Amino acid sequence: MSRILTGITSNNIPHLGNILGAVLPAIELSKQSDNESLFFIADLHSLISQKDASTRIESVNSVAATWLAFDFDTQKNLLYRQSRIPEVCELTWYLNCFTPYPMLANSHSFKDKSDRLSDVNSGLFTYPILMAADIILYDAEFVPVGKDQIQHLEITRDIATAFNNKYQQEIFVLPQVKIDENMMTIPGTDGQKMSKSYNNFINIFLPEKDLLKVVKTIVTDTTQLEEPKNPDTCNVFKLYKLLANDAQVAEMRGNYLKGGYGYGHAKTALYELILTKFEKPRIRYHDLMSHPDLLEKELQIGEAKARKMAQKKLKQVRNVLGF
């Protein structure tokens, strides 16, 4: 049996990039018969940028509803809020004291974010240590994440190794990053990586009219309707290709190449595909969002189990540290 663990920061409603790049591959892994999955909502990480309580609660519910809308099986696996397991904060402090300062200072994610954000707080700097605690507190073996998170997993392994070496015991399992090679970076409406921070994301749970509006904002070039077009450089086609079956892709490719097919047509086709492809998750998501009591119940079940695992590991850690 393998233990799989991953988290999603609750900054917003999960977008198409999060769903295709993180949620669906993780759920696929969780379905493999002998795997046990721990999927959590990184609401402590969200505090780095999100200070408003009611927005946070809404985002937490939205991330939980997304996992459940895509049929994450909470009988077999665990779904929980990071903040409901206080042991993770205690472990974070211990790990802080085993993390060389330059390791954090050299993090790509920190350099990138600290250049762009106005609020460069210490939480942003020590974020990878909380992430390491999230993982090694539960003896996670495989961590499915996007490519942007690879360095954080390396940091996690380095910290865990430093700790194990210091006490000459295998206290922590060294986790392995799991990247879905087929799942490339999902482009946003402007062609850059789809991201909350670039405001170029597609929220598939939007009401139909608003969803269509967002799809219509996808940036295209100025090739006229009647002219042939290059599908491979087009942002609409790139997104369509990620969701469509082979026949649909071939048909749209043909339409682009022969001309007389405008970007407006392609955008409508993409919009309709999103609606059909995500019909069930859209219904289930809104149903759950209007029943927060159901979400709360599901989360608390996962949290009770996660807490037990966390307490057991922390006892071991306190013991070797002499606390």
Single residue of 43, 48, 62, 134 touching ligand TRP by CB under 6 A:
134
Q: Does 22 bind ligand ADP (CB under 6 A)?
A: yes
User: What does the alpha-carbon distance between residue 160 and residue 144 come to, in Å, rounded to a whole number?
Assistant: 18
CB under 5 to 8 A by kind: which of ligand TRP, ligand ADP, none does 136 bind? none
H-assigned helices in the chain: 16-18, 24-31, 43-46, 53-69, 87-96, 101-105, 108-116, 122-136, 150-167, 208-216, 235-243, 246-258, 263-277, 279-289, 292-321
Nearer to ligand ADP, 146 or 231 (CB): 146
Nearer to ligand TRP, 7 or 188 (CB): 7
Radius of gyration of the chain (CA): 21
Q: Does 193 bind ligand ADP (CB under 6 A)?
A: yes
Can you read off the two tokens belonging to residue 221?
Answer: 């070039």
By rule CB under 6 A, what count of residues binds ligand TRP? 13
Single residue of 23, 143, 159, 242 touching ligand TRP by CB under 6 A:
143
Q: Does 215 bind ligand ADP (CB under 6 A)?
A: no
Strand order in the sheet with 142-144: 78-81, 35-42, 2-9, 142-144, 176-178
Nearer to ligand ADP, 132 or 186 (CB): 186
Name which of residues 134 to 163 contact ligand ADP (CB under 6 A): 145-146, 148-149
Comparing every residue's Cβ against ligand TRP, the nearest one is 7
User: What does the alpha-carbon distance between residue 155 and residue 53 come to, in Å, rounded to a whole number?
Assistant: 30
Can you read off the two tokens belonging to residue 153?
Answer: 């997993």
Single residue of 20, 27, 37, 45 touching ligand TRP by CB under 6 A:
45
User: What does the alpha-carbon distance between residue 222 and residue 204 come to, in Å, rounded to a whole number?
Assistant: 27
Residues near ligand ADP, by CB under 6 A? 8-9, 17-18, 21-22, 145-146, 148-149, 185-186, 193-197
